[in-house]
A = this chain, B = another copy of it.
């Protein structure tokens, strides 16, 4: 049988209330009994049962990490990194952590409120959600503190965490321009995704800033999908042969673009330069190595957890938190080819 607070209390010759108090860090306990109880508890391998604790306490905090479309994420470790960051924060702060993987279909059968009810959630970090997902609407209607990763919502109980996608994209495209590129295409993600809009804005900003004309058809959408990106990139490069560089809103799409380029018999970066986004591990192993905008997903997860916790404690929290990003220069960008 499991060891309970009763066992420890009996062993220490005190009431269960006293044992409970030492485990909750109350200060009005004599050092002597406190130490004795701690020692006995350690010997008996006792740790308060989390379920009982969360039931009995009105203040127990439980933060959920809700990962949408978790299964689809095999090629990058971003979901894992977010998990790692959220987990690290909850562990450091002794917050209960629960994990929930959902999908469009599952969102239909178990509502966000049902889930929160079931697990007594006090706050959630949500990743991978899209604006047309049922949970997005539910979160907007609920009062529950939520940190939304890579997604914006105008509500005081919600905090958005991401890198500054506009700025990061501007920098990436700026870098291409610095290398002499004047005709830069963009392979963007799903049109509706918040990050797509921001990354496109960044692209446009960079062109404007450098007085380069903005060609509408230079921007194509490949749904964050490698396979689609192959076709989109091929079509774009064939129809716009003056292009010398491609800015891609994800590394997976950049990899697709790279495939398209080599299938066309062109080389990177001599003919076409490519910059990706996310800086997934793969980049370093590609030939050529892919330059990319890096975002620290673990930090994003950590900060997301930190900010829901602020929201839970009703401390002032920013509505939009930006995490620093980077531009990792590798081999996929070179000077623009002459005559272009």
Residue A45 interfacial (CB < 8 Å) = yes
- Residues of chain B within 8 A (CB-CB) of A36 are none
Distance in Å: Cβ of A312 to nearest Cβ of chain B: 15
Q: Does A49 contact B (CB under 8 A)?
A: yes
Q: Which residues of B contact A120 (CB under 8 A)?
A: 2, 49-51
- Is there an interface contact between A45 and B117, defined as CB atoms closer than 8 Å? yes
What range describes how many residues of A lie at the interface? 35 or more
Within 8 A of B (CB), among A269-314: 281-282, 285-287
Please, which residues of chain B bring their CB within 8 A of the CB of A45?
111, 113-114, 117
A46 at interface, CB cutoff 8 A: yes
A87's partner among B2, B99, B281 (CB-CB below 8 A) is: B99
1/0 contact string of A62-84 vs chain B (CB within 8 Å): 00000000110111010111001
Q: A86-125 vs B: 1/0 string, CB under 8 Å?
A: 0100010000011101000000001101111111100000
The residues of B that contact A71 with a CB separation of less than 8 Å are 84
Q: Which A188-246 residues have a C-beta within 8 angstroms of B? A: none
Q: How many copies does the complex hold?
A: 2
A261 at interface by CB-CB < 8 Å? no
Q: Does A33 contact B (CB under 8 A)?
A: no
Q: In the complex, are the beta carbons of B70 and A281 less than 8 A apart? A: no
Residues of B within 8 A of A91 (CB): 101
Q: B51 to A55, Cβ gap below 8 A?
A: yes
Chain B min CB distance to A59 (Å): 14
Is A29 engaged at the interface, CB distance under 8 Å to the other chain?
A: no
Which single residue of chain B is at the shortest CB-CB distance from A4?
B117
A116 to B51, CA, bound (A): 12
Query: Measured between C-beta atoms, what is the minimum distance from A152 to chain B in Å?
Result: 25
Of A45, A50, A54, A120, most buried by chain B (CB within 10 Å of CB) is A45
- Candidates B47, B55, B75; contact of A281 at CB < 8 Å: B75
Q: Is A255 an interface residue (CB 8 A)?
A: yes
Which of these, B74, B117, B287, contacts A287 with CB under 8 Å?
Answer: B287
**How far apart sit A275 and B79, CA to CA, in the bound complex (Å)?**
29
Q: How far is the CA of A246 from the CA of B77 in the complex (A)?
A: 28
* Smallest CB gap from A101: residue in B: B87
Please measure, in the bound complex, the distance between the C-alpha atom of A2 and the C-alpha atom of B60, giving whole angstroms: 14
Q: A27-48: which have CB < 8 Å to B?
A: 45-48
Q: Any chain B CB within 8 A of the CB of A3?
A: yes
List of B residues within 8 angstroms of A338 by Cβ? none
Q: In the bound complex, how far is the Cα of B48 from the Cα of A110, in angstroms?
A: 12
Contact (Cβ within 8 A) A47 B282 = no
Q: What are the residues of chain B within 8 A of A119 when measuring CB–CB?
A: 49-51
Contact partners of A74 in chain B: CB under 8 A: 77, 80-81, 281
A282 CA / B116 CA spacing, docked (Å)? 37
Within 8 A of B (CB), among A1-30: 2-3
Contacts A50-B51, A97-B99, A285-B285 known; list 18 others, CB within 8 Å: A3-B117, A46-B117, A47-B114, A47-B115, A47-B117, A47-B118, A50-B119, A51-B52, A51-B54, A52-B55, A74-B81, A74-B281, A84-B101, A87-B101, A255-B285, A282-B282, A282-B285, A287-B287
